[in-house]
Amino acid sequence: MLIEADLDAVRRHEIASREPADFDAFWRKTVAAANDVPLDVRIERVESVLSLIDVFDVTFRGADGTDVKAWLRVPAGATTALPTVVTYVGYGGGRGKPEESLTWVAAGFAHLHMDTRGQGAGWSVGDTPDAGPGGPQIPGVMTKGIQNRDDYYYRRLFVDAVRAVDAAKQLPQVDGSRIAVAGGSQGGGLALAVAGLRDDLAAVVAFVPFLCDFARATLITDAYPYHEIVDYLRIHRDQAASVYDVLGSFDAVNHARRATAPAHFSVALMDATCPASTVYAAFNAYAGEKEITEWAFNGHEGGGIEDETQAIAFLKKHLL
């Protein structure tokens, strides 16, 4: 069912909360500090049951020098550098198994599929630990380190996502001038954040993106993962202002304002996990060329395979 009945207002929605005054300075400092650590990209061929796709186990150093895992998939026997899609995973998932997530490579792209630190036990396996600062938190990662934005979990994950593009550029199978970022839900939010933090992307795909307009999302839906923040504030009643101050630096809407690469969005009007107005907040703020597909009768699954086929056509337009 619709959780937001006024569809005209949903489609016009813009974020009401102010971004931190030092938003740009914070991220310049964060990315610069990360860049002081060598990427140390390592790649190893993986034996699999696949006959038409070659798979490589990739490791690079992400936030705080932590090893981050990824899969690189390319058409079997590829000898030239290919246009590449770097993808990020939805909440609770990891990079999965070598034989999963084959759509992008089947479409002819090289595909770097980044693992998600500290996740990967909800619905697909992960291989990257997160040993970041702790503190009182609700189970999950939405409130991990939320007492301080330097310690917040998503600071590390955003850095990993930015550096995944740098790692891709060092791989011989990748054409560094033709890289797109993509993902759904949490992965879509990460793609938008990376688009705002880089100026060298060829395209962006964000399916039903998460991490958008925290202040609204946490008030209009009871669904998790946003509800982890509500659960935290139910106990830490005096921390609402400081929590939302921290979240402002990680709101994908604020990153979208700085993004310039062509972008394809999708939104589902019956999505309780990522309410449609929060997706439109990011879409309306997005500074680059953009398009959006609206799924009227879908929830958080969005358009499923139709989302993917539309995105493939979009990426072939911008990468080939």
Catalytic residue numbers read: 185, 271, 300
CA 220, 225, 228, 233 torsion: positive or negative? negative
Q: How many CB atoms lie within 10 A of CB 192?
A: 33
Helix H or strand E encompassing 58: strand 53-61
Distance in angstroms (rounded) separating the CA atoms of residues 136 and 146 = 9
Q: Pick from 125, 116, 119: which is nearest to 68 by CA?
A: 116
Q: What is the DSSP letter of 151?
A: T
Give the three-class secondary structure for 202: coil
| 272, 221 Cβ separation under 8 angstroms | yes
Q: Would you give the distance in Å from CA 308 to the centre of its chain? A: 16
